[in-house]
Structure 1
Amino acid sequence: MLFNKLLPKEGNFFELFNAHAARMIEGAHAFSKLVANYADANLREQYNREVDNAERAADKVTQEVNRLIHSTFITPIDREQIHTLINTMDDVADLIQDSAETMALYDVRHMTEEITRLTDLSVRCCERVQEAVGFLSKLSDHDTAAAALKTCEEIDKLESDADRVMRAALSKLFREEPDVREVIKLKAIYELLETITDKCEDVANVVEGIVLENS
Structure 2
Amino acid sequence: MLFSKLLPREGNFFEMFDQHAGHIVQAAHAFSKMVANYSDLQKRSLHHRQVDDAERAADRVTHEVSRVLHKTFITPIDRDQIHQLINTLDDVADLIQDSAETMALYDVRHMTEDILRLTDLSVKCCERLKDAVGLIGKVRDAATAEATLKTCAEIDRLESDADHVMRSAMSRLFREEPDVRELIKLKAVYELLETITDKCEDAANLIEGIVLENS
Q: What is the TM-score when the length of structure 1 is the normalising length?
A: 0.97
In the TM superposition, what are the counterparts of 1:22-171 in structure 2 within 5 Å? 22-171=22-171
For structure 2, which runs of at least 5 residues remain unmatched after alignment?
none
Task: Report if aligned partners of 2:8, 2:71 keep a CA contact under 8 Å in 1.
Answer: no
1:173 maps to a residue whose letter is L
For structure 1, which runs of at least 5 residues remain unmatched after alignment?
none
Deviations 1:73-130, CA, capped at 9 Å, x for gaps: 1000000000000000000000000000000000001000000000000000000100
Q: What is the TM-score when the length of structure 2 is the normalising length?
A: 0.97
Query: Shift of residue 191 of structure 1?
Result: 0.3
1: CA distance, partners of 2:148 / 2:66? 24
State the 4+ residue runs in structure 1 displaced beyond 6 angstroms. Answer: none
Identity %: 74
1: CA distance, partners of 2:42 / 2:135? 38
Deviations 1:133-168, CA, capped at 9 Å, x for gaps: 000110111000000000000000000000000000
Whether 2:215 is the aligned partner of 1:211: answer no
Query: Shift of residue 7 of structure 1?
Result: 4.2
Deviations 1:162-209, CA, capped at 9 Å, x for gaps: 000000000000000000001000000000000000000000000000
Deviations 1:49-78, CA, capped at 9 Å, x for gaps: 000000000000000001111100100000
Aligned partner of 1:192 in structure 2 is 192
Aligned partner of 1:17 in structure 2 is 17
RMSD value over aligned CA atoms?
1.1
1: CA distance, partners of 2:63 / 2:24? 15
2: CA distance, partners of 1:136 / 1:156? 17
